[in-house]
Structure 1
Amino acid sequence: MQYCSKGHENPDGSKFCLHCGEKMEPEKNQMAVNQSIQAGITLGDRYLIIRQLGQGGFGKTYLAEDINRFRELCVIKEFAPQVQTAYVLQKAEELFQREATVLYKLQHPQIPRFREFFRSKLGEKEYLFIVQDYVAGENYRSLLDSRSYKGMYFSETEVKQLLQQILPVLDYIHSMGVIHRDISPDNLILRNPQTPTEAALPILID
């Protein structure tokens, strides 16, 4: 993928941005994507990286162990924008810090709990990180793909149940003045019940 100076995503080889029309100049506007943080590295003398979970336009996520909390699993989101122009970098960092502020305010059983926002140096480079609780389960994109592969889909009853379970979460974040802007199967995880009596509920992430 290529990115213009405003952060819009375009297919490789694009001469102009499909969103804003800006002329694409990869040599001037882009640098190599940040290398992933390797498993086994400990961040902030506390979080032991196990593996990378995913990557988006402005960040990467890792599964880690919290050494200070009996090696509890947690998720670490790294500030790692793929576009490195000064303007986009500044705006992306502002949004990343705003995300941390928003997550700190949100307290809901269907939203991963915010743990920490911190900076850490690896070599000569300083990194920004957000730490949240880890949610054991499978996202709805994976569940849908598994069913599609077998020629199956979610039933009307299941879709209604999902809406009934996730709409109260959206109502809560809206009451806090927050809009998610990316409700999708990738950002909904069906949590594995931790006890026999606990319900399998969708968890809103990202």
Structure 2
Amino acid sequence: MKTFEQMIDGYRNFRAGDWHEERERWAELAEGQSPQVMVISCSDSRVDPAQILDVAPGEIFVVRNVAALVPPFETTPGRHGVSAAVEFAVQFLKVKEILVMGHGLCGGCKAALTQDLHGNEIGEGGFVAHWVDMLDEAREPIAAQLGTDGREAELAMELEAVKVSLANLMTFPYVADKVESGELSLHGGHFAIADGILRVLDETSGEFKPAD
């Protein structure tokens, strides 16, 4: 894996290569952004949405966090990073679509399933535990049917987490209004690291189907 210094070398290659060759495009982006799609994905180093979706700079507005989760709409004091990103994308950038993209072998979803970090102190997993506890309700039927160990249960948790985030998005009044008016569409997806397949949520069946 590359070190920071090696990444700086990579920047120099980018500056001399792609950036220079697409100078006109970067000059256009310097004037502002107008992406049509927002992507909410996991912070996991293996699942870069720009790479998976093969998009150029300026084409997607991205927020990444542990397990690609969207909390429900709240007005309580606090630092609501994901909510701020959703607000900015929907109300100011006026994106037309939002994709919540989970992925295989997600550590955050596994933590939600096993609850191994629940009760841990801050700095020892407490932040992660409190973040993924928004999946506690979704976890219960999965744990009852499949247990909390094994790939089948983990996959079920990963897919359900996408559905939870989509449902939470609809608790934002301005998201719900635009979905109902047809100005905004919500999508769910799951990228399998091992086989490279992106599965997209079918709204009618509630199942995830390969995008191939």
Q: TM-score, normalised by structure 1?
A: 0.25
Q: Which fold has the larger relative contact order, with Cα–Cα distance below 8 Å and residues 6 or more apart in sequence?
A: 2
Decide which structure has greater helix share.
2
Decide which structure has greater strand share.
1
